Chain A
């Protein structure tokens, strides 16, 4: 299969996805769980891919994703709440001190830039650390950020520990798909560029990478900033999805969820992260929900089914995946139409050969 054909097929696939989404929106009621999964899944896919850029492609084990999402979500919310709604939102802080708003796309980019700026400052000391030490340092940072954003003194900007709300949100499922799609496409372009190869070289052997002329500090910092930029954009999208923002929601548990998505999808596979993101959200929000409600068949009460049991089952599933598929769904491979066609071609060829042999 030529490269050109592959590009055409990919474009067709993207177009098909959007057609399907629009049709679904017309057909299904907007309260359908499917839309929850699609919206949240797209947002988590973006954040997971950005985390994968760091953990899977550059080999930096960072756990600061929730912190960067928080910065993104707040930046977006603070700069887009309409002027006439500010009085109500910042009711304890005299309407806040920010007296202007920016358009939504600008605010989303600002969200990314704010997260990247914080990442740059944190990266200066933290990126000298390796593996688990880096993980602990970034995790600690995310917790500190969460505490700072709830600080009363910063109230005129962040509204303290109160909710930020009334900022513009999306209703159509195509919006998060478009935004996340563009961001993921940029990350894929980066990964396939010369810099992406340098990142992978650092992951595989940092001493050799340095001996081949790759400046470790510069490239690690770059990966960290870019990953945080997209985490920030993801945070902005999440703010829109939730329609409210509160710092308390961006707990380290959120980072772990994203880490799980990355591990299940395969460290070093962008498509793996996307697929597992939708699966993960579907399981946690939809398919396994029935485990949480008490169910009767006739007069027989099914054992175990009660609030919280979903999490038990979920944990077991994750343990099974990590134990038996510890390279994730995709490993470091990527899903591509070309590869799928190749796979079926080979199968048909083999079955033909077997027929002939028989």
Chain B
């Protein structure tokens, strides 16, 4: 059995009375490409936000390579609102800030691209190197860390060259065309030296040709950087083609999971996507 990278257990995210993610458990193993799919509003991005600590889940825990990175049980007014069982399972509260999660090796991209708009392409990637640099504000200001700085710059240039963005390195990030902005966002995530890469709709707004290229690109960077990939995607051809396993969410609940072939045949998945006829 391959090593467990990400283990999500009974994650529930409840906003007041609305349950966005309901008792979701997901396992991702080393070297896999796992897709999280589901109709709009199924809670896929919320699940991502729970893993990366943008949200604190109401109940449940997440561990990364065996280390608990998120754990919570219903507290305060959520105690009354929370109706599900399992609330006694997670007495410990672990709530790291998103930057700590990134430092442990989880990098992500965003559904609506979030680049540093007023920074150049080069700087966008260079910023992601900041976290792992050995420096403090004093050594950085007075350039005592110049070797470290030079190393960061060289690594960034190498990464940009590999991603085919080197020619654009002095352009403002916001001036890039949409497809390249997506690619830059992935490059920036790679610069944090992740073990797990989480892509939130990487093919959104892309035409079939670009989607095709993206599929190859994802497989290529996965091999090259020894990554495990967890992605949210709506383009079914992309999902079916590159993912090893698929989890399907609907209204916050896991309705199916398995290999692409299994999921495609699953009646509940078909119902969720196509809707169930009234008289059926």
Chain B CB within 8 A of A105 CB: no
Q: List residues of chain B with CB under 8 Å of any chain A CB.
A: 52, 54, 97-100, 102-103, 107-108, 110, 114-119, 123, 126-133, 135, 137, 140-143, 145, 149, 152, 188-189, 192
Q: Tell me the minimal C-beta distance from B186 to chain A in angstroms.
A: 13
A220 vs B141: C-alpha distance when bound (angstroms)? 16
Interface centre among A198, A208, A214, A215 (most CB of B within 10 A): A208
Q: Across the two chains, which residue of chain A brings its CB closest to B53?
A: A210
The reply to whether A200 and B141 form a contact with Cβ atoms under 8 Å apart is no
User: Top 10 closest A-B pairs, CB basis?
Assistant: A213-B131, A208-B114, A204-B116, A193-B140, A213-B102, A210-B98, A201-B127, A190-B141, A212-B128, A215-B99
Residues of A within 8 A of B (CB-CB), count: 28
Q: Tell me the minimal C-beta distance from A145 to chain B in angstroms.
A: 25
Query: In the complex where A210-B97, A213-B132 touch, is A205 in contact with B114 (Cβ < 8 A)?
Result: yes
A332 vs B117: C-alpha distance when bound (angstroms)? 13
Query: In the complex where A194-B135, A197-B123 touch, is A204 in contact with B118 (Cβ < 8 A)?
Result: yes
The reply to whether B127 and A211 form a contact with Cβ atoms under 8 Å apart is no
Residues A327-356 near B (CB distance < 8 A): 332
A211 vs B188: C-alpha distance when bound (angstroms)? 10
Contacting residue for A194 out of B107, B114, B119, B152, CB 8 A: B152
A190 vs B98: C-alpha distance when bound (angstroms)? 25
Q: Tell me the minimal C-beta distance from A193 to chain B in angstroms.
A: 4
The A contact surface, by secondary structure, is helix
A207 vs B54: C-alpha distance when bound (angstroms)? 8
Residues of A within 8 A of B142 (CB): 189
Query: In the complex where A194-B133, A194-B140, A198-B127 touch, is A213 in contact with B192 (Cβ < 8 A)?
Result: yes
The reply to whether B116 and A195 form a contact with Cβ atoms under 8 Å apart is no
Chain B CB within 8 A of A33 CB: no
The reply to whether A208 and B102 form a contact with Cβ atoms under 8 Å apart is no
The reply to whether A208 and B115 form a contact with Cβ atoms under 8 Å apart is yes
Residues of B within 8 A of A195 (CB): 130, 137, 140-141
Residues of B within 8 A of A198 (CB): 127, 130
The reply to whether A204 and B132 form a contact with Cβ atoms under 8 Å apart is no
The reply to whether B119 and A215 form a contact with Cβ atoms under 8 Å apart is no
Chain B CB within 8 A of A217 CB: yes
A213 vs B192: C-alpha distance when bound (angstroms)? 8
A24 vs B238: C-alpha distance when bound (angstroms)? 72
Residues A187-232 near B (CB distance < 8 A): 189-190, 193-195, 197-198, 200-201, 203-205, 207-217, 222, 226
A207 vs B116: C-alpha distance when bound (angstroms)? 10
Q: What are 13 residue pairs bridging A and B, where the CB atoms are less than 8 Å apart in the complex?
A: A193-B137, A197-B123, A200-B116, A200-B118, A201-B127, A203-B118, A204-B116, A204-B119, A208-B110, A210-B99, A213-B131, A214-B131, A222-B137
Residues of B within 8 A of A182 (CB): none
Query: In the complex where A189-B142, A195-B140, A212-B192 touch, is A205 in contact with B99 (Cβ < 8 A)?
Result: no
Q: Across the two chains, which residue of chain B brings its CB closest to A226?
A: B137
A205 vs B112: C-alpha distance when bound (angstroms)? 12
Chain B CB within 8 A of A186 CB: yes
Q: List residues of chain A with CB under 8 Å of any chain B CB.
A: 186, 189-190, 193-195, 197-198, 200-201, 203-205, 207-217, 222, 226, 268, 332
Q: Tell me the minimal C-beta distance from A266 to chain B in angstroms.
A: 12
Residues of A within 8 A of B188 (CB): 212
The reply to whether B116 and A208 form a contact with Cβ atoms under 8 Å apart is yes
Residues of B within 8 A of A207 (CB): 54, 98, 110, 114
The reply to whether B99 and A214 form a contact with Cβ atoms under 8 Å apart is yes
A4 vs B89: C-alpha distance when bound (angstroms)? 63
Q: Across the two chains, which residue of chain B brings its CB closest to A207?
A: B114
Q: Tell me the minimal C-beta distance from A211 to chain B in angstroms.
A: 6
A270 vs B99: C-alpha distance when bound (angstroms)? 29
Residues of B within 8 A of A217 (CB): 97
Contacting residue for A213 out of B54, B117, B118, B128, CB 8 A: B128
Contacting residue for B99 out of A189, A193, A216, A222, CB 8 A: A216
Query: In the complex where A189-B143, A213-B130 touch, is A201 in contact with B119 (Cβ < 8 A)?
Result: yes
The reply to whether B97 and A212 form a contact with Cβ atoms under 8 Å apart is no
Q: Tell me the minimal C-beta distance from A327 to chain B in angstroms.
A: 12
Residues of B within 8 A of A201 (CB): 116, 119, 127
Q: Tell me the minimal C-beta distance from B55 to chain A in angstroms.
A: 12
Contacting residue for B131 out of A200, A204, A208, A212, CB 8 A: A212
The reply to whether B115 and A205 form a contact with Cβ atoms under 8 Å apart is yes
Q: Tell me the minimal C-beta distance from A216 to chain B in angstroms.
A: 7
Residues of A within 8 A of B149 (CB): 193-194
Q: Across the two chains, which residue of chain A brings its CB closest to B145?
A: A194
A40 vs B128: C-alpha distance when bound (angstroms)? 40
Residues of B within 8 A of A215 (CB): 97, 99-100
A208 vs B128: C-alpha distance when bound (angstroms)? 10
Q: Tell me the minimal C-beta distance from A334 to chain B in angstroms.
A: 13
Q: Across the two chains, which residue of chain A brings its CB closest to B129?
A: A194
- 16 A-B pairs besides A194-B149, A201-B116 with CB distance below 8 A are A190-B137, A195-B130, A197-B119, A197-B123, A197-B127, A198-B127, A200-B118, A209-B116, A209-B127, A212-B128, A213-B103, A213-B132, A214-B131, A215-B100, A216-B99, A268-B118
